[in-house]
Structure 1
Amino acid sequence: MLFNSFSFILLFLPITALGYFALARRSQVLAAGWLAAASLFFYGWWSVEYIPLLLASIGFNYLAGRRIGHGAGAVKWRWLALAVGANLLLLCYFKYADFLIAGVNAVGGADWPLWHVVLPIGISFYTFTQIAFLVDTYQGKVKEYRFVHYLLFITYFPHLIAGPVLHHAEMMPQFERKESYRLSAANVAIGLSIFAIGLAKKVLIADNLSPHANFFFNQSDPQGLLVAWGGVLAYAFQLYFDFSGYSDMAIGISRIFGIRLPLNFDSPYKSVNIIDFWRRWHMTLSRFLRDYLYIPLGGGRRGDVRRYLNLMLTMLLGGLWHGAGWNFAVWGLLHGAYLMVNHAWAALAARLRLPTGAPPWRLASVGLTFAAVCFAWVFFRATDFARAVAIVGAMWGHDGIALPASLAGHLHALRPLLDKLGVTFYIGGGTRFVQTWLWVLVAAAICFTMPNTQQIMRRCEPALDFRAGAGGAWSLPAVPLTWLPNRRWAVALSVLMLACLLSLGRPAEFLYFQF
């Protein structure tokens, strides 16, 4: 079931909420059980056959967690190794079996048949969530083991399919609080407001960028520089508004139930460097990779060489987490290299006392960081490695600069300059070219000049658990928008929601569902 569907908005969500608060009057356990059952129904809407797998994973990890929590010494370690290994084996089977077989065939000249394993939706997210639970239990951070709460923690439908990746310690205490089971007009108003903003990101922006990004990445003809950048930017903004919109909707839905999910996006395209980008993009995954991979590997505690190796390995595995393919591996390695360069440059800039805080410098840094991120997105999105290389070449001008022939008449006054720049004109594609760049410019204006969701909702910041900005971002002065519980905002968000509902048509899946 999609958040951006009539069945969810008009049926599932209100029925689930009404049942939850009605049962909460009698028993918190019944209310939690109802919400867990509704979450399983939500998951089963996609594929009923994978509910037993999900429940088996939950049961195994819950029992393993209890053994770890009540064990001592070597027993705790053995149970942790067993449980984490079992989770990784399950993930490898469903996500990487065919990738590994194809790799063995390519390297060893074998001809093993592929298994064509179907990837259960959400398995990457609920596997990582449970690995974090096991490690936290081993470290003594888990204090509460009520099964109904653990079941709800894993299956909780706002985050089950595409995150955010949650910590046990930030969710389980909320399921114990009486306030979480009381219907609150403030929670409903705030939750619906955040949901409306997220839905608008998905339906009104991301879904309108999608046809242009898909058209570009799915064709094989040579591309000029402007066409290539238009297609890549369309995907960059589509991905941002799609996943950021999902995360906002998840936070908003959860708030209706009195539960606070962590922030997952904080204007990442405004980051002044790659380090800051990863503090702002998919923040819960970045936190997981840092806490459960980078730091256990040694982090930066053992010198620069070891730090750089740890960064590369962490980002490589982060890339492969997104998908079983060499494109994702290259994407991860690129970001690992970016982080290495960023750390080295930061040390050099500090030594030379360069004015990196000056506005012109920060503006240039935002542009360079965004360009580097877009360059890496090519490998993330391209259908194969050869296509990604061709697109990168076009972005560098390898195929020249070309414009649609239908624009030639409108650019007659600029022809001398265009001729000097080597601009050529090709037949067809004029409408697509113009529409792509118009949507890119609209998305860029919203992304770089408008406040993000937590800035709009900053009056609710303490209640929303939105963290403060990392302090590294730079942007043009944002439009001053601050949410208030008044009639003006109610009307504005109602109009926004109506526009989204009228645009739903055939709901489009979220991009991160494939991971």
Structure 2
Amino acid sequence: MQNHFVDYALFITFFPQLIAGPIVSHKQILPQLVKKHTSISIFYENMIKGLFAFSIGLFKKVAIADSLSIWVSHGFKLEGLHFIEAWQTSLAYTLQLYFDFSGYSDMAIGLALLFNIILPHNFNSPYKATNIQDFWRRWHITLSNFLLTYLYIPLGGSRQGNLRTYVNFLITFILGGLWHGAGWTFLFWGLLHGSALVIHRIWQQLGFTMHKVLAWIITFNFINFAWIFFRANSFNDAKKIIKGMLGLNNLGTFKTKILELLSTLFIDTIDPLAQIIIPLTQITISLVWLYIIMSMAIALYTRNTQEKINYFKPSIKNLMLAIFSFIWVYFVLIGESITTEFLYFNF
């Protein structure tokens, strides 16, 4: 009895996953905590992988998520956002949330590996999803498994007919929304995702198909739209962002910049090279959009951390990548003061 209590106490105080996840059961971790022997080579291999995963997570959190948070906070405070401001605010938050929480998960997994403990993978490139069901198989995987095991299946799952299945989807995700916070915006966010899953299931049952690119565009934009309610303090806050995204205020300065760029294409000049160089000098992009484009490229076109760990081999390239991450984070932290709180600690 005493040994069981000590083992369980060790499990619940295992700090890498204690606060925000990945969500694990004692069956996943306890056998690893009480095992007697481990190969030294495997232990060292896990330590190296752990440091590598931690460095990636730290970079994602400090260099990307915290930088985007500045524009997100500013955008949600503005009134009467124009088209460009609204879209940059929503996209910045969509990317901030992903890099913040996946960064934390990478750091937790990395810290656990330093103790030779393997935590479950929590993110699998969720913004590559081409439908809402695929998204929830990739986003906060341990939460999806928790909701499936302790809510959806006990409610009856998909075993009691289509109508009951649809109701179970809605109940599961409404409660999942309330799990993040006791507010109407969280409830509505859960309702949106539950409804999307119902529509997706009906779509599948009717045998409809869609081009992969179009499916991705619809899925990503729905997710981006739903995150607005997840971030907003009230429906009025969400409404002002959505109005701006629909262009109901104004389009901002983007149209003017395009006209200025096009006008330079017709400048009469003797030097043909100038016809190429001059227009390029007119192209301007704000820092926030540079961050958004680069962050989106990382989310869509690079291997996620779990894939990097699975294919990890000690090399100069990986060593330099880890060192670069730590150096970048160091200079960010000693520079201007920025938010370092993990977003998901609030939910």
Question: How much does 1:284 deviate?
Answer: 0.5
Map of 1:45 onto structure 2: none
Map of 1:501 onto structure 2: 330
Q: CA RMSD in A?
A: 2.2
Candidates 147, 152, 164, aligned match of 2:5: 147
What amino acid does structure 2 have at the position aligned with 1:484? K
Q: Equivalents in 2 of 1:262, 1:343: separation in Å?
A: 27
Map of 1:202 onto structure 2: 61
Map of 1:451 onto structure 2: 303
Q: Equivalents in 2 of 1:494, 1:504: separation in Å?
A: 15
Task: Confirm or deny: 8 A CA contact 2:166 2:198 kept in the other structure.
Answer: yes
Map of 2:215 onto structure 1: 365
Residues 417-444 of structure 1, C-alpha deviation per residue, up to 9 Å, x if partnerless? xxxxxxxxxxxxxxxx822211111111
Task: Name the SS of the counterpart of 2:252 in structure 1.
Answer: strand
Question: How much does 1:149 deviate?
Answer: 1.6
Q: Equivalents in 1 of 2:21, 2:3: separation in Å?
A: 22
Question: How much does 1:213 deviate?
Answer: 0.8
Map of 1:5 onto structure 2: none
What amino acid does structure 1 have at the position aligned with 2:344? Y
Question: How much does 1:390 deviate?
Answer: 2.2
Relative to 1, partners in 2 of residues 1:409 and 1:195: Cα closer, same or farther, differing over 3 Å? closer
Map of 1:514 onto structure 2: 346
Map of 1:478 onto structure 2: none
Q: Equivalents in 2 of 1:443, 1:249: separation in Å?
A: 19
Question: How much does 1:301 deviate?
Answer: 0.8
Q: Equivalents in 1 of 2:103, 2:187: separation in Å?
A: 26
Task: Confirm or deny: 8 A CA contact 1:180 1:259 kept in the other structure.
Answer: no
Map of 1:9 onto structure 2: none
Map of 2:15 onto structure 1: 157
Aligned ranges for residues 26-425 of structure 1 at < 5 Å?
Answer: 146-179=4-37, 184-219=43-78, 221-349=79-207, 354=209, 356=210, 361-403=211-253, 408=256, 411-414=259-262
Task: Structure 1 unaligned segments of length 5 or more: list them.
Answer: 1-65, 67-143, 416-432, 460-482
Task: Confirm or deny: 8 A CA contact 2:58 2:325 kept in the other structure.
Answer: no
Residues 120-171 of structure 1, C-alpha deviation per residue, up to 9 Å, x if partnerless? xxxxxxxxxxxxxxxxxxxxxxxx9711221121121101111111111111
What amino acid does structure 2 have at the position aligned with 1:457? I
Q: Equivalents in 1 of 2:178, 2:259: separation in Å?
A: 45
Residues 32-73 of structure 1, C-alpha deviation per residue, up to 9 Å, x if partnerless? xxxxxxxxxxxxxxxxxxxxxxxxxxxxxxxxxx9xxxxxxx
Relative to 1, partners in 2 of residues 1:325 and 1:488: Cα closer, same or farther, differing over 3 Å? same
Question: How much does 1:218 deviate?
Answer: 1.9
Q: Equivalents in 1 of 2:39, 2:14: separation in Å?
A: 15
Task: Confirm or deny: 8 A CA contact 1:279 1:286 kept in the other structure.
Answer: yes
| TM score, norm. by length of structure 2 | 0.88
Task: Confirm or deny: 8 A CA contact 2:58 2:107 kept in the other structure.
Answer: yes
1:436 aligns with 2:288: yes
Question: How much does 1:410 deviate?
Answer: 7.1
Map of 1:40 onto structure 2: none
Greater relative CO, 1 or 2 (CA 8 Å, sep 6+): 2
Question: How much does 1:179 deviate?
Answer: 3.7
Q: Equivalents in 2 of 1:457, 1:187: separation in Å?
A: 10
Q: Equivalents in 2 of 1:412, 1:435: separation in Å?
A: 20
Count the aligned residue pairs: 323
Map of 2:273 onto structure 1: none
Map of 2:315 onto structure 1: 486
Task: Confirm or deny: 8 A CA contact 1:265 1:281 kept in the other structure.
Answer: yes
